[in-house]
Amino acid sequence: MTADIAAPMLHFLRIRGRATPESLAAALGSTPGRVSATLLELASRGLAEDTGKPRLGWKITAAGKQSAEARMTGISPEARALVAEHYETFRKLNDELKQLCADWQGRAETQGTADFVAPLAAVDSGVQQILAEITPGAPHFAGYSDRFTRAREAFGAGSDSHLTGVLVDSYHNIWFECHECFFITLGRSRQAEETAPASSFVDG
């Protein structure tokens, strides 16, 4: 059965635009066989299509984008209000993660992953609490918790690339995608947020 990963996969394609089967398997914690079968299922429904270029993989179609966004925005008013409330905390954690990533990239030669495990764990604890609160009413956020955990554990085990790397499912990559998920769910944009104070986004 592929139904259990079809919706999360379509969500992932909506956030990223396109993805290879390998990156999908890593993000979904699934197997290449299940991923391939699910991609074919989505294609048969007109929701995704193969780009024909192995390096680019598969992309979402217009119908797929509409379906994925409907799942994100079609939550109850109560659930949306809860997402909006917790998003303000997410924004504060976002600043903390930005600083952590900057510190990591500017680290001294004598510093390694062990020196950054504690601050990453603090950020992770905060976002995991947010996700635990909002996911029951907004199930499209469900996949991020496990992905954050896998990236944090890989970084803690010494994998340098799992904090800010671009070629793996790094903490920073996952955070960027989770942030985009908040934007779509709440009908906001990254550009508007960058030019407006946090208070202007509090839902009434």
pTM of the model: 0.90
In a shared domain, residues 43 and 80: no
In a shared domain, residues 96 and 146: yes
Sign of the alpha-carbon torsion through 154, 155, 160, 163: positive
Q: Name the average pLDDT for the chain.
A: 93
Question: Which residue among 51, 70, 89 closes a domain?
Answer: 70
Using 50, 70 and 90 to split pLDDT, how confident is the model at 152? very high
Mean pLDDT of 140-148: 96
**What pLDDT is attached to residue 196?**
63
The three-state secondary structure class of 135 is: coil
Instruction: Please give the residue range of the domain that contains residue 60.
Output: 3-70
**What pLDDT is attached to residue 50?**
97
| Number of domains, the chain | 2
In a shared domain, residues 186 and 87: yes
Residue from 27, 30, 24, 8 nearest 57 by CA: 24
In a shared domain, residues 177 and 81: yes
Query: Which residues have CB under 8 Å from 32's CB, separation 6+?
Result: 21, 22, 25
Q: Is the pLDDT of residue 200 over 80?
A: no
In a shared domain, residues 112 and 164: yes
CATH of the domain at 55: 1.10.10.10
Question: Which residue among 53, 70, 87 closes a domain?
Answer: 70
**What pLDDT is attached to residue 3?**
55
Q: How many CB atoms lie within 10 A of CB 85?
A: 14
In a shared domain, residues 134 and 39: no
In a shared domain, residues 98 and 189: yes
In a shared domain, residues 154 and 63: no
In a shared domain, residues 108 and 16: no
Give the DSSP letter string of 15-65: HHSEE-HHHHHHHHT--HHHHHHHHHHHHHTTSEEE-S-TTT-EEE-HHHH
Question: Which residue among 50, 70, 90 closes a domain?
Answer: 70
Mean pLDDT of 198-204: 44
Mean pLDDT of 1-22: 88
Mean pLDDT of 139-157: 97
CB 59 within 8 A of CB 8: no
**What pLDDT is attached to residue 110?**
95
**What pLDDT is attached to residue 186?**
97
Q: Is the pLDDT of residue 104 over 90?
A: yes
Q: What angle in degrees, to the nearest 10, is found between the helix axes of 171-186 and 117-134?
A: 30
Rg of the chain over all Cα atoms, to the nearest angstrom? 17
Angle at 5 between CA 10 and CA 23, to 5 degrees: 65
In a shared domain, residues 56 and 103: no
Strands of the chain (E only): list them: 18-19, 48-50, 58-60
Listed range (28-42, 77-91, 101-115, 187-201) with the worst mean pLDDT: 187-201
**What pLDDT is attached to residue 204?**
33
Using 50, 70 and 90 to split pLDDT, how confident is the model at 17? very high
